[in-house]
Structure 1
Amino acid sequence: MYRDLVLESAELVFARKGFDDATVQEIAAEAGISLKTLYAAVPGKNELFEMVVERRGAEFLQETSEVMATDGSVLELLANGVRAYVSFLVRHEAFLLIHLRQGRAWGLPAMKGPSGVQREQGESLFLTVVRRGIDEGIFYDEDPQTLARSGMAVMQAHLMRVVEGIHGGDIEAVADAVLRSLHRLLCRPQVLARLGLPGAA
């Protein structure tokens, strides 16, 4: 009965404080329930954090996967994937903060458990697009894993700008900025020039 309330409250507290500084007492207070009621819904802080990340991460992965499963050129898939990624995280700002704060980032190993599996699935979607872009001569012929991780770092940097108040939460402005940076990072200059894409010199 209280599980959804506890998860929503925990997401807000973890976003504000980070995992280490958040307490179950603060989460219970945010939810307006007693500690006893909280512990009846979830076993502890570690499990609660994993449940928050797993729940929101599943929604995130589903939205992004649906967009990436459509037909289209590699550049259309990249654009659609970026727009889905940015849109979800800007609409769920608490999860965005957790995503950035707790190492859901490009260079760190995935966590164990369901949320780690979700992260690996998300990274795999992006890596598939990068490999296809290389195979089609659209992207630089570099190590795909390095390009994908560099692309994830670019997306993280732009999302930090959202947290800092840049772009005013305008999803299209954020997505366009991310795409310009990714085009410059991934695409061969002659491809950008030929297609008149943002990011061309």
Structure 2
Amino acid sequence: MQGLTSLMERLERKEREYNARRAQILEQAEKIFATKGFHNVTMAEIAAASGFSIGSLYQFFEGKENLYTTMISEKLDLMYAEVRKAPAAAADVIEKIEMLIDAHLQFVEKNTNFLLLFIKGEKTSSSEDMESLNKKLAYGYYDHITFIENLLKDGVDRGLLRSLPPRDMAEALFYLIRASSVTWMIKSTKESLLSRKKFIMDIFLYGVKKND
């Protein structure tokens, strides 16, 4: 029994070490891809930045494109998970909207390298990895808009929001957040992106028409 416990502990330690090294590679790759673009990066550069040999890198990823698509895919999963978790702590629909916006903006601030890759919008190839990623991007966007739609529909049903199509409102809110995020990254301002939350809330809830 003691031998089995010792074996399990060794296996768990190896798994932790493997995951830590893999995460280190993905982190360095994200920085380099964001700076130089997919086509101008080599596996040798990523290996050097990560502190591994090229041979070791291929123990984790099949090649540059597999590394790139894995990085994008896993970061998207993280973004959606964090953003969707945030509104759960809010008491009412308006607060849920605020928490949703806040989570989006916080993620952008913490992951500017990742979002810069989206601004560049580079195409790699039509490989199986890339086709799989493109499908995930499409389905991920659809699911996320549906999540926001359901949140807003609850507000409409409760009479807290105007009786407008929740899907259209969800897309409008998402693109308000996206536009503010992209502008902030392009300008490279020292101002926190979170300072835009009040503006996004104001435009989304009240529009631009001056009240009489």
Give the superposition deviation at 1:41.
Answer: 1.4
1:168 — aligned with what?
A: 190
Name which one, 1 or 2, has greater alpha-carbon Rg: 2
1:112 — aligned with what?
A: 135
2:53 to 34, 47, 70: 34
Give the superposition deviation at 1:167.
Answer: 5.2
1:135 — aligned with what?
A: 157
% same residue: 21
For structure 1, the 5+ residue unaligned runs are 104-109, 190-198
Q: Distance in 2 between matches of 1:145 and 1:56?
A: 25
What does the per-residue CA deviation read over 1:27-75, in whole Å, with 9 as the maximum and x for residues that have no partner? 3343243332222210123321222123322332232222122342211
Give the length in aligned residue pairs.
Answer: 183
What SS class does the counterpart of residue 80 from structure 2 fall into? helix
- TM-score w.r.t. the length of structure 1 is 0.73
Quickly say closer, same or farther: Cα 1:37–1:73, change in 2 above 3 A: same
2:34 — aligned with what?
A: 15
When structure 1 is superposed on structure 2, of 156-165 and 62-71 the one drifting more is 62-71
Give the superposition deviation at 1:24.
Answer: 3.1
AA aligned opposite 1:111: N
Contact 1:90 1:96 in 2 (8 A): no
For structure 2, the 5+ residue unaligned runs are 1-17, 123-132
What does the per-residue CA deviation read over 1:81-122, in whole Å, with 9 as the maximum and x for residues that have no partner? 10111112112221222344449xxxxxx8324x65544433
Q: Distance in 2 between matches of 1:165 and 1:85?
A: 18
What does the per-residue CA deviation read over 1:170-191, in whole Å, with 9 as the maximum and x for residues that have no partner? 1430322322232245x9x8xx
Quickly say closer, same or farther: Cα 1:132–1:161, change in 2 above 3 A: same
1:21-170 paired onto structure 2 within 5 Å: 21-102=40-121, 111-113=134-136, 117-165=139-187, 168-170=190-192
AA aligned opposite 2:201: L
